[in-house]
Amino acid sequence: MLAIDAHDLAKTFRSGWPRRRETHALRGVSLTVQRGAIVGVLGPNGAGKTTLLSILTTLLVPDRGRATILGHDLAREPGAIRRRLNMASGNASFLWSLRVEEIIAFYGRLYGLGGRALAARVEELLGFAELGPHRRVPYNELSTGLKQRLALAKSLVNQPELLFLDEPTLGLDPDVAIRLRAQIAALRRQRGTTIVLTTHYMREAEELCDEIAFVKNGRLLARGSSEELKRAIKLGDVIALRVDAGGAAALAGLPGILRTTAEDGRVELTVDSAQKRLGEVLQRLHESGAVVRDLEVREPQLEDVFIELAK
Ligand SMILES: Nc1ncnc2c1ncn2[C@@H]1O[C@H](COP(=O)(O)OP(=O)(O)OP(=O)(O)O)[C@@H](O)[C@H]1O
Ligand SMILES: [Mg+2]
């Protein structure tokens, strides 16, 4: 079952007077997301990620394209969609003087909650986001980590089946980010929530996401699991060696070597497969009399894929 089935979404912003500057934020993006999946939308600054999320959450009307969200047509049934999804932004900001529990309650009332049901939901979300001890703290006194946790709690107030998180761990220290990620993973595990998130942190994408969609210049360039993307981009493995002078020369002409860099006795070979080539490389060095002092084999990282695609 699909939570999102989007075709050819496009959006051009016109700004300035008389609307002369055009920014093609989205140029025809199609995306499907299975129910219960966690999908990461990655891409450089200005790629169109937030624009895509804004369209899918009904906040922005696309110029072109169509989408079915949780079985509802995006253009014809935005109200039905809004009741069943929610979103949180790492850039969110709430009224500075309201307290944590008041902010959650405020959003609860917008979804028609009141009385005991509202109080129960607020308690549940304070517990889930570990905000209990901070419930009476005004918004402007919260640390960035607590603000992000509050944004997540607020986004759960209508028990959404589909949740959009725009850079949920923006600006968090690693320790706090890890806990927030664990809470996001728990949502899917405990409630089966479908989650679409954007992030600039590759570890976050690898840890949380079943699939990654890579967006650049308003287009979807690639999608797949982190492993699939690494294979598809064919970046090769790196064999990094510390060898005596002359070592690199001995390796010339070996098959499977895509790139060689040599500097100060350090040689880096990018090969099609380290498993296949390591034996030959070491044998050739041994035969030439070069002494290998250190050896490291690195598989490509998602970060390498990102850099390659962003070029
Ligand atoms: N309201 C707007 N008016 C004019 N241009 C806009 C507007 N919103 C976004 N843009 C432009 O559209 C493009 C895509 O922006 P978007 O915010 O979707 O990128 P993003 O991928 O979320 O980037 P980031 O990683 O920096 O958050 C950018 O060039 C941006 O400047
Ligand atoms: Mg953005």
For β-strands 38-42 and 266-271, DSSP reports them as unpaired
pLDDT in tens, the chain (311 residues): 899 999 999 999 998 887 788 999 999 999 999 999 999 999 999 999 999 999 999 999 999 999 999 999 999 999 999 999 999 998 888 998 999 999 999 999 999 999 999 999 999 999 999 999 999 999 999 999 999 999 999 999 999 999 999 999 998 999 989 999 999 999 999 999 999 999 999 999 999 999 999 999 999 999 999 989 988 887 889 999 999 766 778 888 899 998 888 888 899 999 988 999 999 999 999 998 888 999 999 988 898 889 889 88
Element at 108 (helix H, strand E): helix 100-110
The full length of the chain comes to 311
Query: Is the CB of 216 inside a 6 Å radius of any atom of ligand 1?
Result: no
The 8 Å CB, 24+ separation contacts for 109-118 are 111/83, 111/157, 111/158, 113/157
Would the CB of 47 count as within 6 Å of ligand 1?
Answer: yes
229 in a domain, yes or no? Answer: no
Neighbouring C-beta atoms of residue 224, cutoff 10 Å: 16
Q: Whose CA is nearest to atom 17 of ligand 1?
A: 50
Cα dihedral across residues 235, 239, 242, 247: positive or negative: negative
Q: How many helices (H) and strands (E) does the chain have?
A: 11, 14
Per the CB < 8 A criterion, the answer to whether 220 and 212 are in contact is: no
Looking at the fold, whether 108 and 43 belong to one and the same domain comes out as yes
Both 161 and 279 in a single domain?
no
Which ligand is nearest to the Cα of residue 201, counting in written order? 1
**Which residue in 307, 215, 309 sits closest to 24, CA to CA?**
215
Q: How far is the CA of 293 from the centre of ligand 2 (A)?
A: 45
Q: Are residues 182 and 263 in the same domain?
A: no
At 137 the three-state DSSP class reads: coil
Cβ 121 under 6 angstroms from ligand 1? no
- 205 and 243 fall within a common domain: no
Residue 230 lies in a domain: no
Instruction: Pull the structure tokens for residue 138.
Output: 């005004």
Longest distance between any two alpha carbons in the chain, whole Å: 82
157 and 266 belong to one structural domain: no
Residues 266 and 122 placed together within one structural domain of the fold: no
Whether 24 and 98 share a structural domain: yes
Please name the residue that has the structure tokens 């079943």.
Answer: 210
Q: Are residues 165 and 248 in the same domain?
A: no
248-271 core/surface letters (b: 16 or more CB in 10 A; e: else): bebbeeeebbeeeebeebebbbbb
Q: Are residues 173 and 25 in the same domain?
A: yes
Distances (CA, A) of 239 to 251, 262, 280: 12, 12, 12
Q: What pLDDT, on the 0 to 100 scale, is given for residue 245?
A: 63
Q: Give the separation between CA 284 and CA 282, rounded to whole angstroms.
A: 5
The CATH number of the domain holding residue 263 is 3.30.70.100
Residues 54 and 200 both lie in one domain: yes
Does the beta carbon of 43 lie inside 6 Å of ligand 1?
yes
Instruction: Ligand 1 pocket test: pick from 19, 50, 56, 215 the residue with the most ligand atoms within 8 Å of its Cβ.
Output: 50
- 275 and 207 belong to one structural domain: no
- Is residue 215 one of the residues assigned to a domain? yes
Ligand 1 atom nearest 26 alpha carbon: 14
Q: Look up the CATH number of the domain holding residue 40.
A: 3.40.50.300
- Residue whose Cα lies nearest atom 4 of ligand 1: it is 13
**59 pocket-lining for ligand 1 (C-beta < 6 Å):** no
Report pTM: 0.89
15 lines ligand 1 (CB under 6 A): yes
CA of 48 from ligand 1 middle (Å) equals: 6
Given 190, 224, 258, the domain boundary residue is 224
Task: Say what the pLDDT of residue 212 is.
Answer: 97
Is 22 a domain residue? yes
Q: Is ligand 1 within 6 A of the CB of residue 48?
A: yes
Asked if residue 262 is part of any domain, the answer here is yes
Question: Token digits for 217?
Answer: 């210049």
Q: Looking at 163, 191, 224, which one is the last position of a domain?
A: 224
pLDDT of residue 300: 84
Are 119 and 260 found together in one domain? no
Q: Establish whether residue 91 lines the binding site of ligand 1, counting it when its CB lies within 6 angstroms of any ligand atom.
A: no
Which residues span the domain enclosing 239? 235-310
- How many domains is the chain built from? 2
Q: What's the CA gap between 49 and 65, in Å, rounded?
A: 16
**CA nearest ligand 1 atom 13, residue:** 25
Boundary residue ending a domain (224, 245, 279): 224
Residues 6+ apart with CB under 8 A from 283: none
Cross-strand bridge partners of residue 121: none
